[in-house]
Amino acid sequence: MDKLRKALSGRETTDDQDEERGNIITQTEGTPLLRVIDNNSLSWGTRVKGFAICFVLGFVFSFMGSGFLFLPKGMTLFAIFYTLGNIMALTSTCFLMGPVNQCKKMFAKTRIIATIVMFVALIMTLVAAFALKKRALAMLMVVIQFLAMTWYSLSYIPYARDAAKKCFASCIDV
């Protein structure tokens, strides 16, 4: 469990640092600047519980949103719940890594395009559903949202994007 904790936090900890986990601000070695440790205020068990609750709520909201599609004028509710579900699922990882580390990883070189497309699709889904009242455009944005979220998620698994590309290419070459 300690290896998973260290991998998700993005830094190696020593026993001395583990004792200082109660401090929000610590002195960085070799510099007079202070830095904020963004993932030390919750215990590991609390973080895992927070992750699980947010992730499950995200799934439930997305599933509920899909059910609203079949109601008259349910497009707005669908857009709200589906987008809220994706946001909840995305922020659930903040419990494991911390919000600062999560943002750093989201905007890393390998994920920046997927992150931007995902955020634009999230916003455009809501705009299409509320302001424009265009059902087809909202559905297109949901599909783009899903694909961008999938591509973003695959970036955390080694060689998963390459495998997805090969799988898609083999389906096209039929």
Q: What is the pLDDT of residues 155-169, one digit of tens each?
A: 888 999 999 999 999
Q: Give me the DSSP letters along the chain.
A: -HHHHHHHHTS---HHHHHGGG-SEEEPTTSS-EEE-TT-SS-HHHHHHHHHHHHHHHHHHHHHHHHHTTSTT-HHHHHHHHHHHHHHHHHHHHHHH-HHHHHHHHTSTTTHHHHHHHHHHHHHHHHIIIII--HHHHHHHHHHHHHHHHHHHHTTSTTHHHHHHHHHHHHHT-
Give the mean pLDDT of the chain: 80
What pLDDT is attached to residue 21?
Answer: 46
What pLDDT is attached to residue 7?
Answer: 61
Given pLDDT bands bounded at 50, 70 and 90, which one contains residue 70?
Answer: confident
pTM score over 0.75: no
What pLDDT is attached to residue 25?
Answer: 45
Q: Is the pLDDT of residue 86 over 80?
A: yes
Q: Is the pLDDT of residue 45 over 60?
A: yes
What pLDDT is attached to residue 4?
Answer: 59
